[in-house]
Chains A and B, each alone.
Chain A
Amino acid sequence: NAGVTQTPKFQVLKTGQSMTLQCAQDMNHEYMSWYRQDPGMGLRLIHYSVGAGITDQGEVPNGYNVSRSTTEDFPLRLLSAAPSQTSVYFCASRRGNQPHNYGYTFGSGTRLTVV
């Protein structure tokens, strides 16, 4: 099993450009989420999904869109990149749609710089 795969690992964007961060998991996990990590601020939840066709906003959703057409894939779209979106982005997944039983499996991250 590959676990959670994120691509690309590194990306530099110009302000105003759009792009999609890819996330795929092969563990048949129902729940997937996107976090951004900035120095001193921990991980902040952007969007999450409890199953195919279902998504919801997290703590910091502005400027990002998601969709969940399949169980395996959960892409994150930046609509018009801004320097404030420079960050490390982590995708995570876990079994079940109940929060009680399982921990998250994280991808290795995408380091995004917006200039």
Chain B
Amino acid sequence: GQQVMQIPQYQHVQEGEDFTTYCNSSTTLSNIQWYKQRPGGHPVFLIQLVKSGEVKKQKRLTFQFGEAKKNSSLHITATQTTDVGTYFCAGAMDSSYKLIFGSGTRLLVRP
């Protein structure tokens, strides 16, 4: 079945350092979404990427979708303590209504 792998599992950074999480799918995706979950909270939708090679930015966050539509990344520039949480990618296959989540990357930021 469809699998979405995400690395690293954990990342502990000093405030001001950059952070990147990577997502890889075993199959070609129709789109990929990114979510953030604060400790004790629920996932919150950040963005969706649909096109091959697409790059989108939200302030300090940069999202990329690979040319083959099988991988994606989220890069945070100059992390802040408010960035703490777990970042999930979630992929959907063509002609499927299922959204499969990666295992997430937990980001910890030292002030």
Smallest Cβ-Cβ distance to A99: which chain B residue: B92
Q: Which residues of B contact A40 (CB under 8 A)?
A: 9, 103
Inter-chain contact A43/B97, CB cutoff 8 Å: no
CA separation between A97 and B95, bound complex, in Å? 11
0 or 1 for each of B33-77: is its CB under 8 Å from A? (1 = yes)? 101000001111111101000000000000000000000000000
Interface of B is mostly: strand
- Mask: chain A, 56-71; 1 = CB below 8 Å from B; 0 = not: 1011000000000000
Contact B30 A50 (CB under 8 A): no
| A interface residues (Cβ-Cβ under 8 A, vs B) | 31, 33, 35, 40-45, 48, 50, 56, 58-59, 90, 92, 97, 99-109
Question: Could you tell me which B residues sit within 8 Å of A by CB distance?
Answer: 1, 6, 9, 30-31, 33, 35, 41-48, 50, 88, 90, 92, 96-104
11 A-B pairs with C-beta separation under 8 A: A35-B101, A45-B101, A48-B98, A90-B43, A92-B43, A99-B30, A99-B99, A100-B30, A104-B35, A104-B43, A104-B99
